[in-house]
């Protein structure tokens, strides 16, 4: 089956003395009057809300901030932003930082091309466009034509593409539209040759792609019930259903393909095999890669719904391709680091499975079948390794890369003779290559041009022991000539969750940090997928403290080995990484000089009450479970703030349209931090407007946010920005 590119799944006002409802601006001398910069600070009202969990009463004084539609919450947001941006405006280097970031961001960027129906499709950004533009051409040498330009859909670049899917004949493109960073998408259909949209429009779609049928008559997709008025950014998302949309018909006439009325948390995606014979339905019910698979033989043309044939939410079963009824899957069933197996859908008993590519020492991340060869993408100590195998599973070569980096792509069909991939490092922007499957030769297709010399920088990988003795890898990237004298401004980044692996990737923002003399460190923590499912599970639920111990261990190693010291050490992370930062700064406030928690999950007792939060129970557990409640309460950043403590300089970041991790997490955490903190270090929150969890954020907003982040650290760590 053709593997397509994955869709890219954050108010500045003058400070004034004013009262907004229950948000009172207090005079200097309170905890945010730092360095004479912030003259006023919002004091957040405390409510008497208390929740009871298994006989334990837990106060929730800032619960009112969960209502993002209330006038009081909106006033609080405005008041907090005034203080934050007034503080940032006092950093003299900020304008220079933003100017340099703009220069570094301004280079041509290309997505990995793919072919469909004899046409090539790819994305391109000319440098500073808020959103990348999709193009198409009849050949690699032909002049490309614009397919979809999201920059024309809004003046401020806050409307983004949430995904595209090309019909198998290359005639139509279905594309998702995300407004202001929301996970909610609208899908439309465009004729490729003319660039004209059909009248079709599909709504209330979230976490779904469009999977075309072989004939190009329509596509399969998933949608949720329409939320209650005013609750579209907070209401829990349950009872997803899968439909088939036929071109030229209204959404109300879409055919129901799959639904589950007794299990509200089951979600599914459906697609036809490339031969058009089978419908495959993959069902999941959380964030773990554990599935239940159904199939239907479309040649039989009966009315029966798809039938179950493998999986009971026990393991990963990711479909690769098929030979008739023989299906190829990547799975971690009895193979935590992954393997490739063959299953006959008409004879699916495990005793009949055949292992084609056995489990290796490396972690198997993805597999495609192109040019009659399996292209297997592995992670070896958190960097890419790609091996080829015959359909029978015999080794057939390896793709060589120029150093420790990350490769992505390798999509295509079994009959294709070529595929494309990108390769990037911490100090090299993504270069796109064409790969000849028969000869094993890679040739540069598109190479970015950026005015800096990668040879001026060094990347090394080190390993350290965590608290329990587990060996943890960490990347260090910095400018040549940096001295190990314990004085280097250091930005330590991590994630550690949901089986997500962090590997080398280029970032203009990180390059600017290193260019100015900073050290960038990336720790590969447990909870991620770097070493397979066992590594993931070692950082989940009752084991979640391992993740924080790993990150704290990384900080201690950097200090012990004279790369930096507490006063020069900042930590950062987003989403689950925001939780990571929040937990570590509350557990070890004396260890860090600054903290940048972004869109974090901070209230570990109530996260499952909003939007898709219930799905994270796979990784976190739930306060509804007595044993898990105790573990969650022990590390929940919101609930472990200790009054009278000197916390690191902190700038929380979130966005008003984040319907993944609702902004109330950050609102409540910031309010609690400001109330508990003593000392002169700033404790601020930056709330972006018309933005969401991060996907589809306009280039202009990314540059502004990066400039504010580095400006905050310049002042907090005493960095001499060169």
Using only the alpha carbons of the chain, give its radius of gyration: 25
Give 143's contacts (C-beta < 8 A, 6+ positions apart).
Answer: 137
Residue 455 CB contacts under 8 Å (≥ 6 apart), including other chains: none
Pairing of strands 354-357, 339-344: antiparallel
**Structure-token match 């064409």, residue found:** 434
Catalytic residue among 132, 536, 693, 716: 693
Q: How far is CA 401 from the centre of its chain?
A: 25
Q: What counts of helices (H) and strands (E) characterise the chain? A: 10, 42
Q: Which residues contact 504 (CB under 8 A, 6 or more apart)?
A: 382, 383, 404, 405, 406, 424, 425, 426, 459, 475, 522
Rounded to whole angstroms, the Cα distance separating 34 from 32 reads 5
Query: What SS3 state is found at 593?
Result: coil
C-alpha distances (whole Å) from 148 to each of 1, 162, 198, 206, 404 are 24, 12, 14, 20, 34
In the chain, the N- to C-terminal Cα span, in Å, equals 50
**Which of 95, 25, 100, 106 lies closest to 450, judged by CA?**
106
Cβ atoms of 621 and 608 closer than 8 Å? no
Say how far apart CA 219 and CA 716 lie, in whole Å. Answer: 52
Using CA of residue 24, residue 682, residue 636, residue 501, what is the dihedral sign? positive
- CA atoms of 39 and 33, how far apart (whole Å): 5
- Over 490-542, what HEC string results? EEEECCCCCCCCCCCCCCHHHHHHHHCCCEEEEECCCCCCCCCHHHHHCCCHH
Catalytic residue at 693? yes
Closest CA to 210 of 182, 229, 188, 184: 188
Selecting among 575, 636, 666, 681, the annotated active-site residue is: 575
575 is catalytic: yes
Tell me whether residue 361 is exposed, middle or buried, using C-beta atoms within 10 angstroms of its C-beta: 0 to 12, 13 to 18, 19 or more. Answer: exposed
Which residues participate in catalysis according to the annotation?
A: 575, 693
């Amino acid at each position: 089956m053709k593997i397509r590119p994955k869709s890219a799944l954050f108010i500045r006002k003058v400070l004034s003395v004013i009262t907004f409802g229950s948000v009172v601006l207090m005079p200097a001398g309170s905890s945010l009057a730092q360095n004479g910069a912030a003259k006023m600070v919002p004091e957040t009202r405390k409510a008497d809300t208390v929740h009871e969990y298994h006989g334990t009463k837990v106060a929730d004084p800032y619960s009112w901030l969960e209502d993002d539609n209330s006038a009081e919450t909106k006033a609080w947001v405005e008041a907090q932003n005034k203080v934050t941006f007034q503080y940032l405006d006092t950093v003299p280097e900020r304008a220079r930082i933003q100017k340099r970031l703009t220069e570094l961001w301004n280079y041509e960027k290309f997505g990995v091309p793919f072919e469909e129906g004899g046409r090539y499709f790819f994305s391109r950004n000319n440098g500073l466009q808020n959103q990348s533009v999709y193009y198409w051409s009849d050949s690699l040498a032909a002049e490309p034509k614009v397919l979809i330009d999201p920059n024309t859909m809004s003046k401020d670049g806050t409307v983004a593409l949430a995904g595209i899917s090309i019909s198998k004949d290359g005639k139509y493109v279905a594309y998702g539209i995300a407004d202001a960073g929301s996970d909610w998408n609208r899908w439309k259909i465009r004729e490729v040759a003319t660039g004209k949209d059909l009248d079709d429009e599909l709504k209330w779609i979230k976490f779904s792609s469009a999977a075309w049928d072989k004939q190009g008559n329509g596509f399969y997709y998933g949608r949720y019930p329409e939320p209650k008025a005013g609750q579209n950014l907070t209401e829990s998302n349950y009872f997803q259903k899968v439909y088939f949309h036929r071109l030229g018909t209204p959404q109300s006439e879409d055919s129901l393909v799959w639904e589950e009325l007794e299990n509200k948390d089951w979600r599914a995606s459906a697609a036809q095999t490339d031969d058009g014979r089978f419908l495959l339905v993959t069902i999941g019910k959380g964030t773990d890669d554990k599935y239940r698979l159904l199939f239907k033989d479309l040649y039989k043309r009966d009315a029966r719904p798809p039938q179950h044939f493998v999986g009971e939410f026990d393991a990963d079963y990711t479909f690769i391709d098929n030979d008739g009824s023989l299906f190829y899957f990547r799975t971690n069933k009895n193979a935590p680091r992954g393997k490739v197996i063959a299953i006959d859908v008409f004879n699916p008993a495990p005793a009949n499975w055949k292992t084609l590519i056995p489990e290796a020492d490396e972690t198997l991340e993805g597999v495609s079948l192109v040019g009659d060869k399996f292209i297997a993408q592995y992670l070896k100590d958190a960097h890419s390794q790609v091996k080829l195998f015959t359909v029978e599973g015999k080794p057939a070569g390896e793709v060589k890369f120029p150093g420790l980096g990350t490769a992505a792509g390798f999509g295509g069909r079994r009959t294709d003779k070529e595929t494309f991939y990108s390769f990037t490092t911490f100090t090299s922007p993504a270069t796109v290559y064409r790969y000849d499957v028969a000869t094993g030769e890679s040739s540069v297709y598109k190479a970015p041009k950026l005015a800096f010399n990668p040879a001026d920088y060094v990347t090394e990988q080190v390993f350290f022991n965590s608290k329990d003795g587990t060996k943890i890898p960490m990347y260090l990237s910095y400018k040549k000539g940096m001295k190990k004298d314990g004085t280097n401004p250091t930005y330590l980044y991590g994630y550690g969750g949901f089986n997500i692996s962090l590997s080398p990737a280029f970032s203009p923002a990180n390059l600017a940090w290193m260019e100015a003399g900073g050290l960038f460190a990336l720790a590969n923590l447990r909870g991620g997928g770097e070493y397979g499912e066992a590594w993931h599970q070692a950082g989940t639920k009752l084991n979640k403290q391992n993740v924080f111990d790993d990150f704290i261990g990384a900080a201690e190693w950097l200090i012990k080995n004279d790369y930096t010291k507490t006063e020069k050490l900042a930590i950062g992370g987003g989403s689950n990484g925001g939780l990571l930062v929040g937990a570590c700064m509350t557990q070890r406030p004396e260890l860090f000089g600054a903290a940048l928690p972004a869109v974090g999950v901070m209230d570990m007792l109530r996260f499952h009450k909003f939007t898709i939060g219930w799905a994270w129970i796979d990784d976190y557990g739930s306060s509804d479970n007595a044993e898990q409640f105790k573990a969650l309460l022990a590390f929940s950043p919101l609930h472990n703030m200790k009054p009278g403590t000197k916390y690191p300089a902190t700038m929380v970041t979130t966005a008003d349209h984040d319907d993944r991790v609702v902004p109330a997490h950050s609102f409540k955490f910031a309010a609690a931090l400001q109330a508990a903190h003593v000392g002169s270090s700033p404790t601020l929150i930056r709330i972006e407007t018309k933005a969401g969890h991060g996907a589809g954020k306009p280039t202009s907003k990314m540059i502004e946010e990066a400039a504010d982040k580095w400006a905050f650290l310049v002042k907090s760590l005493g960095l001499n920005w060169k």
